[in-house]
Structures are given as C-alpha cells and as structure tokens.
Chain A
Amino acid sequence: MTTVQPNMEVTSTRQKLLDIWETAPGLYGWLATVDHKTIGIRYLCTAFFFLVIGGIEALAMRVQLAQPDLKILSPDAYNQLFSMHGTTMMFLYALPMLSGFSNYLWPLMLGSRDMAFPRLNALSYWVFLFAGIFLYISFPLGQAPNGGWFAYVPNTSLEYDPGINMDVFALGLVFLGISTVVGSANFIVTLLRCRAPGMSVNRLPILVWGTLTASAANLLAVPAVSLACAMLWLDRRYGTHFFDVKGGGQPLLWQHLFWIFGHPWVYALVLPAMGIVSDALPVFCRRPLVGYTLVAISTVATMILGFGVWVHHMFATGLPVMSLSFFSAASFIIAIPSAIAVFAWIATIWTGKLQFTTPFLFFTGFIMLFVIGGVSGFMTASVALDWQLTDTYFIVAHLHYVLLGINVFPVVGGLHFWFPKMSGRMMDERLGKWTFWTMFIGFNAAFFPMHVTGLMGMPRRIYTYPADMGVGWLNMLSTLGAFVFAVGVFLFLINVAKSLKSGAPAGDNPWDAPTLEWATTSPPPVYNFATIPQVASRYPLWEDRLKETEERSIIGDAVRDGMVLDKGKETIGVTPLDAEPNVVLKMPGDSILPFLLSVGMTGLFFGLLAQVIWLVALGAVCEFGVLALWLTPEPHAALEEVEIHD
C-alpha cells in the first residue's frame, strides 16, 4: 500500500479515521475498549482511589499514634492497617498511577496511534483492578494481610499467622505481578516500535526514559517477588520448606528475594515521576531542560545501580561485614545520578523565565522534598549509622519523603498539567495553589517530625509507645499534619470535579508546551493524530523559536505529504534507535477478550485462595479458552513491508 494521500479532504479523512478507531457505545464498548487514553484515565482514577483508601488507613493509624498508650485500635487492627497501607500505596497506588500517565501519554508524546499491544494494555488494567479487589476482599472480614508489605517469614508462615491473611497477600501479589509484567513488556515494545518517524532516542521525552527504564527493571524484578510469594503460599498451604526452618528452609532467602525485587521497585516508583518533572517543569521556565542528555543517562544509571543495593535493607541481618561494606558503598554512589538531576532542574529554573502556576509549584516543591528524602537516604546508606536508624521512625520519614515527595507531588503536579489535555478544560488556579500549600505544609508537618522521633529511638511498626519516650507531642504534630495533608488531597478532588464541569476551555496547547501531545486537540481524537507526525527535533512545537536545527517537524492535519494510514486500524512502525519508518502496523480492534481473561484469572485465584478445586479448574479452562481465541490469527493481521518515500 502507499502512505501518500494527495489532496485528501481533511474533514473526510477525520471522519474515516473516526469510523475506523472509535469504540462501540454501550456496555460492550466500555468493557472491550483498547484505547490507550481510556485505559490510561482508568488507571489514573483507580490508582487515585487506592491512594485515598491507603490514606484513610494511614489516618486511622495516625489517630492511634497521636498520643502514647492510646487504645483506639487493637494491635491486630493496627497491624492489618499498616500492612494494607504499605501494600496499597506501593502496589496499588504508586506504580499503577505512573502506568496511568504513561499509558495516556506515551502514544501522544511519541506521535503514535496506540501502544504496541493494545489488548495487552487492556489486560494489564483489568488484572490490576481485579488484583486490587482481591487484595481487599478480606479486609471487611478483619482478615486482611497483617505481616507488613515486606511480609517477612517466619512471621508470615502458617504457624505464626494461621488465618487467610497472608494467603491473600501472597496470591494477590502473584496476581498483580501479571499486570505489571504485561504492562512493562508493552511499554518496552511500544518504545522500540511505535514512535513517530524521526523520533530518535535522543529526542524522547524524559518521562519516556523514566518509564522505559522502570519497565525494563520491572521485567527483571517482579518475577523475584512473584516467585517468593508463590513459595510462601506453597509453604503455607502445601507444607513445602522453602523458608521453614524446621525443614531446613532459610528465612533470609525471603529477604533476599523480596529486596532484589523491592529495591529496584522503589526506583521504578520514582523514575517516571522524575520524568514528569523533567518534561513539565521546563515548560514553566519557558526553556528546554538544561542537560537533557545528562538527565537521560542519570535515569538509566540510577536504575542499573538500583539493582546493586538491595542488601542495604538487610544491614542488621548479620551478613558478613565485608559484603555489607560493598552494598553500603554502592548505596552512597547511587546518589550521584540523583545529584545530576537535581542540579539540572535547579539550573533550568535559574536560567528560566518563570510562571508560577500550580504545576510549577508542585514541581519546585518536589525538588526540595527530593533533596530532604535524598539526604536521609544518604544517612541510611551508611551501614554503621543504619544499625541505629533502621526500623525506626527515621526510616518512616525517609520513605515518605521519597515516596510522597518524589511520587505524589509530581503526580499531582502532573495531573494539573495534563488535565487540560485529558478533559479539554483548565483546572482552577486559585484552588490549585491552595491545594499545593495545604499539601506541602501538611506533608512537612506530618513527616518532618518523624526524623526526630526516629532519632529519639521510636521503633516503627508499633501500635503504641510509652509516655516516657517523650515523643508524644511530636506524634501529635505528625497526626495533625497528616490531616492537613488529607485536606489538600480533598481540595484537589474538589478542583477536579469543579473544573470538569465548568473549567475554562483549554485549547490544544494551553501551556505553550513543546512536545507532541500538545499538537493534537484537547481531548485528543481517538486516533490521536490524523496524520502521523514527522519529528525533526526534541521540542517539535518550539523548534521555530529555538532555532536549533534547519529541519522542521511536520505536524498537522492538512499535511499533503503526511502518512494518514486510513486503510484500517494502522499505525507506523519504526526502527528501534533512529526511528526510521519501516512497517505499517495493523492494530487489533476492541475486544472483550482481555476482560474475559482477567475474569477467568480472578476465578482461578479465588479458587486457589479458597482451595476450591472446581473453581480453580473452571478458571483454568476459561483461561485456556480465552487464550485460544486470543491467539487465533486474524485474517488481516500480517505485517506489510512498505516503501517509505524518501
């Protein structure tokens, strides 16, 4: 086929593309859609919902800890709350939230029409949703996971934790892991194949670098925790002895497997969020990011080094001092790439012409929190000092500065930033600034004092503490701060609701931002771009003004020479590094199969949890059936090699 569409009437092309790409109305369409924008927004909403749930759990804990010796929560309730809080925030909020951004934004930023595997994309969402429900199903029964999100054995073995609590956890994580792995593979292939022609690797937005490295890391890391959880479940229900001391098992094996996963994972939770800042902050400095290449390299370097530091979670386990020293040194070194990023952001602000919008406030606030969380990480990197700091509130302070500072603040800033693109309406700036200050002040009031309670020796994961520790007033401050922070989150939700209804119309590019997602309408049409853009620089929408190259990107509907690809559901495939177009990819249509596969999987996992054989069998049969349908080749699915002009 040919990709040249001479003299095509623009409106009729659009109509044609709409007919090809649009999701059917009604329930079927709702369940079957594979549109990455719909899926992205579903991810964002679901993850935000889990943030609120996890936040409510945190507030309950904070009430119990507000003063010494309170008896508001029983120890069992407290343990379930902190376990579910950690699990929810780490697994059901932080990563899915970033997946939501990447799902929504990647094809738009990359100038493509969809992700490489749209159906896998739908699958990864449904599995995430059902795994989240699975993890919460025992919560109302008072049987929720209660061994912490780190689930150390033998405390989580059947002997010491006889309920179904930890079965829910172990199976739930295996279940959720499927979603993560599927999603990660999809991101990687999308990056390699589904970019606009000309978008070579040195022109990728940093968010893409962040999600790409995070996804590669997830592919390597998630299997470790899925394996560990499967082993835990087998130990619990089938009497294997992977971790069981009496059968010669090793409790430390769990810790290694968990942290080989866990440490790369925390980087996967922050690198895409740092990417959000690297891409969006410069827009409000009215200039490109300073040191793009350095920041891109530092992103990758952080992830690689991130695989060499897991033992810093195990400094007190009695491993040989020699190996501890190695991991301690590596943990110091990993701060270098982060320093590069921090200085690059500051340099961008320093040399910029600033616009103090709400997203800008969130991003600059983030820089300060990043540094505070970074230096407390630097302190815990020291193995000797960590022997005192570990398992105290100092760590709780550190991990929240890192996770809220580097994940939640950029995320909320990013939601303000891309909300106009997603909804076609601006968010209210005044309310936005209130949101920022409430969250920022509340956050610091809640978590800064925890550094101090930690230095005063308050252990973490305790449901109560004695009055003579002298930390009562600091804990009261933390609790008040947490509630102020919660008010900030509430203000954000009000702003979203209000702006959806009556926000000012946004236009295509309200912030005058440089990347491709701003070249299409807000919200974008289902096919993203009527003509596939051709990219000639890193900042296509600024290139006329930056004057960095002679070449110009070709973007827009009326392009006579562009690739329209309206012979079916198609997008262009490119070579991995240079983004030379070399194939037209036939994209699959909407399908109910991803949903059905997830339903089958849910049945299977409930069967395993309840040990009901017929349910397991039913789930498995359903899985095979759906997979067979899924894998049946479609008549037109073959790739076509194409001649590309010039």
Chain B
Amino acid sequence: MASLFLFTVALSGCSGSPLGYLDATSPIAGAIASLGLGLTAISIAVCIVVGVLLVVALWRGRRAHDLAITPVNDRTAIRWIGFGVAISTVFLVGSAVWTLLTVSSISQPAQASALSIDVIGQEWWWAVKYRSSNPAREFITANQLVIPVGVPVQINLTSKDVIHSFWVPKLGGKMDMIPSRTNVTWLQADKVGDFRGQCSEFCGLQHANMAFNVRVLSKPDFEAWWDRQLLPTAGSGDDPRLKTFLVRCAACHTIRGTPAGGILGPDLSHFGDRETIASGLMTNTPANLAKWINNTQTIKPGVKMPELHMLASEIDDVTTYLEGLK
C-alpha cells in the first residue's frame, strides 16, 4: 500500500518532468493521458481488491490449530472464482473498447495538416526538412522542430541508418523511424513553448543522448521564423571566421548560402537559433560550444564528430560565427 502512496506522489510529480506525459499539451497526448489515468485507476483498484482479499484470507487462516486434511466441497468457492472472472472480463472488454475508441480518435487529425515535415533519424541526431509546395521555400535544419500552435502538423519519419523512434511525450506517442520505410505521424500543440523529444528505440552507443527540442510558436511568429530561415545567412565570403569554419568544419556541415555543404553532420544554418547542442545534450551557449568542439568524445563518447584539436583562436572564430547565425 506504500506503493499507492508512491503512485500518487508520482502522478503529481510527473507534471514537472520534461518527458512526463501525463500533463499533456496536445489533443493526442491529452486523449492518451485520460486513457492512461483511467487504466491506472482500474489497475490500482485491482491491486487494492486483490491485496485486501489476500490479507483477509491470510488473517482468517492464521491460527489454524487443526492441520488435518479433511474432505472439501468447493462449489461455493468456484462460484466466487466465476464471479471474480466475470467482473474482470467486463473491465477488460471495457478497457479494450475505450482503447480502440481512443486509437481511432487520434490516428488521424481532425482537419487535414497543411504543414508537412520530414524527420530523418541518424546516429545520434535528427535531420529536419521543411516541405512546401514551393520548392524555393523548402529548407533543412537539425535537432529542433519548430511548429505553429493549434494546427496539426504531419511528420514523415524515416531513418538513415538504424531504427530510431520519434517521441515528444507531451505532444503524443512514439513512432519508429525505420530505414526503407516512411512512417507518418502528426503533432498538434495546444500552447506555445519548448517541449523535449527523445529517441526511444535503442540505437547504439549514444541512444541516451539523442534528444531534440520542439519549439511551438504562435502562427505569426512561425511564419516569420520560416521567412528568416530562407534569408541568406552567410556574412561575406572573406569573413575570416567563416574561412575558419570552411576549413575546419565544412567537410561535414552545411551552412546555406556559403560554400559549406557537408552532409555528414547536422545542417548548421541559423545555429544561433537553436536551444541545444549535440541533440539536446547541452544548452546552446558559446562556452558550451567551445567545449564541445575539442571534446566531442568525452562529452558524447562514440559520437560521429571527431575531436578537432583546434587552436583557441580557431575555436573562438567558429563559436562567434555560429552563435551569430540567428
């Protein structure tokens, strides 16, 4: 029964947690949370009923003096078993029906999604591609999803290497990202804010540190954000800082509007806009970025970005340059 107490503490505690899904902020997660609370309530009730039955049974039989084996008649006892099983069946069938109703209410959005985003999982980060009917308005970013509040957004999921799973607990359930397949899910946020996402299928060494951020903006802010993404970012071609970046980083990273066009690592255009570094591992500050560049393997062992052994001045260049890309 201490367990019940813990459960209650837990349910209230979950609200504070960045990956807790019982305080939902979306129609999908909301429907699942109600179902979850309902089934949890049934579960706790079952534990209490069985616990009480068991304790009473133990109490009744505790002082048996006469341990002789005597003839038994179990007709009544078997009737009680039948009764217990019948009640359980009612609850099981009821829960199954509730589940199926929930599934059908959340498997498709109420209105068609106007916005479609591709998310491609890879060891151990996320590429994000914004779709548009106008190819000139499409662009690629990484490790951060920005979506408008209140409308359904279609998310097309696939993977470049192993299986990952896309999960933003406060906005909805998981969907796997499987190479050679595209799984489609959708997100809809009820309020503006930042929400954490996390890979939830074991994908190798850095599965633990494969997180991302979902930033929900008001409609006008979202439009403005999109327009800003399409602006040329660069700074002029002979900016010495960009030069350092081109020499040291461009083999793997892209910055739109510059010669940097590597595709092995995350796209870094508008890097200054992002909440975190290394897929949710550290907050995006110049100090953290400086630390990251030379210590990738200590900070995120196994990560596919090599330690670059850059000079302090080079690090300074690159950090200042990247953080300036808003």
Q: Does A423 contact B (CB under 8 A)?
A: no
Q: Considering the complex, which residues of chain A in the window 17-52 have a beta carbon less than 8 Å from any beta carbon of chain B?
A: none
Inter-chain contact B96/A329, CB cutoff 8 Å: yes
Q: Considering the complex, which residues of chain B in the window 45-84 have a beta carbon less than 8 Å from any beta carbon of chain A?
A: 46-47, 50-51, 53-54, 56-58, 60-62, 64, 66-72, 74, 77-78, 80-81, 84
Within the complex, which residue of A343, A367, A390, A444 is in contact with B200, where a contact is CB–CB below 8 Å?
A: A390
Shortest beta-carbon distance from A247 to chain B in Å: 10
A243-270 CB mask vs B (1 if < 8 Å, else 0) is: 0010000111000000000000000000
Q: Considering the complex, which residues of chain A in the window 349-393 have a beta carbon less than 8 Å from any beta carbon of chain B?
A: 349-356, 364, 367-368, 371-372, 374-376, 378-379, 381-392
Inter-chain contact A456/B64, CB cutoff 8 Å: no
Tell me whether A456 and B178 are in contact in the complex, defined as CB-CB below 8 angstroms, given that A332-B92, A387-B172, A388-B173 are known contacts: no
Q: Does B237 contact A (CB under 8 A)?
A: no
Q: How many A-B residue pairs have CB under 8 A?
A: 297
The DSSP consensus for interface residues of chain A is helix
Q: Does B36 contact A (CB under 8 A)?
A: yes
Inter-chain contact B18/A455, CB cutoff 8 Å: no
Contacts of B302 in A (CB 8 A): 75-76
Tell me whether A451 and B179 are in contact in the complex, defined as CB-CB below 8 angstroms, given that A355-B67, A390-B174 are known contacts: no
Within the complex, which residue of B64, B66, B161, B201 is in contact with A152, where a contact is CB–CB below 8 Å?
A: B201
Tell me whether A456 and B13 are in contact in the complex, defined as CB-CB below 8 angstroms, given that A294-B78, A385-B36, A390-B200 are known contacts: yes
Inter-chain contact A388/B21, CB cutoff 8 Å: yes
Within the complex, which residue of A318, A354, A455 is in contact with B178, where a contact is CB–CB below 8 Å?
A: A318
Inter-chain contact B81/A375, CB cutoff 8 Å: no
- Bound together, the chains give a CA A316 to CA B64 distance in angstroms of 52
Stretch at the interface among A119-127, A231-239, A460-468: A460-468
Inter-chain contact B22/A344, CB cutoff 8 Å: no
* Chain B residue at minimum C-beta to C-beta distance from A148: B202
Q: Does B181 contact A (CB under 8 A)?
A: yes
Contacts of B145 in A (CB 8 A): none
B80-95 CB mask vs A (1 if < 8 Å, else 0) is: 1100110011001101
Inter-chain contact B200/A459, CB cutoff 8 Å: yes
Within the complex, which residue of B14, B43, B176, B202 is in contact with A155, where a contact is CB–CB below 8 Å?
A: B202
* Chain A residue at minimum C-beta to C-beta distance from B74: A290
* Chain A residue at minimum C-beta to C-beta distance from B99: A382
A387-407 CB mask vs B (1 if < 8 Å, else 0) is: 111111000000000000000
Inter-chain contact A388/B36, CB cutoff 8 Å: yes
Contacts of B208 in A (CB 8 A): 75, 459, 462-465
Inter-chain contact B103/A383, CB cutoff 8 Å: yes
Shortest beta-carbon distance from B157 to chain A in Å: 8
Within the complex, which residue of A290, A325, A353, A547 is in contact with B103, where a contact is CB–CB below 8 Å?
A: A325
Contacts of B3 in A (CB 8 A): 372, 444, 448
Q: Does A589 contact B (CB under 8 A)?
A: no
Q: Does B287 contact A (CB under 8 A)?
A: no
Contacts of B67 in A (CB 8 A): 286, 353, 355, 512
Inter-chain contact A354/B62, CB cutoff 8 Å: yes
Q: Does A321 contact B (CB under 8 A)?
A: yes
Shortest beta-carbon distance from A265 to chain B in Å: 19
Within the complex, which residue of B58, B184, B205 is in contact with A79, where a contact is CB–CB below 8 Å?
A: B205
- Bound together, the chains give a CA A382 to CA B94 distance in angstroms of 11
Please give the number of chain B residues whose Cβ is less than 8 angstroms from any Cβ of chain A in the complex: 99
Inter-chain contact A335/B88, CB cutoff 8 Å: yes
- Bound together, the chains give a CA A363 to CA B50 distance in angstroms of 15
B29-53 CB mask vs A (1 if < 8 Å, else 0) is: 1011001100110111011001101
- Bound together, the chains give a CA A322 to CA B178 distance in angstroms of 20
Shortest beta-carbon distance from A156 to chain B in Å: 9
Tell me whether A470 and B16 are in contact in the complex, defined as CB-CB below 8 angstroms, given that A384-B31, A464-B208 are known contacts: yes
Contacts of A378 in B (CB 8 A): 39, 42-43, 92, 95
Inter-chain contact B99/A328, CB cutoff 8 Å: yes
Inter-chain contact B32/A379, CB cutoff 8 Å: no
- Bound together, the chains give a CA A542 to CA B69 distance in angstroms of 7
Inter-chain contact A371/B19, CB cutoff 8 Å: no
Q: Considering the complex, which residues of chain B in the window 224-272 have a beta carbon less than 8 Å from any beta carbon of chain A?
A: none
- Bound together, the chains give a CA A461 to CA B164 distance in angstroms of 13
Interface residues on A, range: 35 or more
Inter-chain contact B19/A384, CB cutoff 8 Å: no
Contacts of B84 in A (CB 8 A): 339, 343
Contacts of A250 in B (CB 8 A): 180
Q: Does B136 contact A (CB under 8 A)?
A: no
Tell me whether A457 and B198 are in contact in the complex, defined as CB-CB below 8 angstroms, given that A286-B68, A379-B39 are known contacts: yes
Q: Does B204 contact A (CB under 8 A)?
A: yes
Tell me whether A325 and B32 are in contact in the complex, defined as CB-CB below 8 angstroms, given that A290-B74, A459-B198 are known contacts: no
Inter-chain contact A154/B71, CB cutoff 8 Å: no
The 4 closest A-B pairs by CB, nearest first: A387-B173, A457-B19, A353-B64, A318-B183
Report which B residues bind A (CB closer than 8 A).
Answer: 3, 6-7, 9-11, 13-14, 16-22, 29, 31-32, 35-36, 39-40, 42-44, 46-47, 50-51, 53-54, 56-58, 60-62, 64, 66-72, 74, 77-78, 80-81, 84-85, 88-89, 92-93, 95-96, 98-100, 102-104, 106-107, 123, 157, 161-163, 165, 167, 169, 172-176, 178-181, 183-184, 198-209, 301-302
Q: List 28 A-B residue pairs with CB atoms under 8 Å apart, sorted by A's residue number.
A: A74-B301, A76-B301, A152-B162, A160-B204, A286-B67, A291-B77, A291-B78, A318-B181, A318-B183, A328-B103, A342-B50, A344-B81, A346-B50, A347-B80, A350-B56, A351-B72, A353-B67, A354-B61, A371-B50, A378-B43, A388-B36, A452-B9, A456-B10, A457-B198, A458-B19, A465-B208, A514-B69, A546-B72
Q: Taking A155-B203, A452-B6 as given, write out 5 further A-B residue pairs in contact, using a Cβ cutoff of 8 Å, ordered by the A residue number.
A: A154-B179, A250-B180, A347-B77, A350-B53, A456-B17
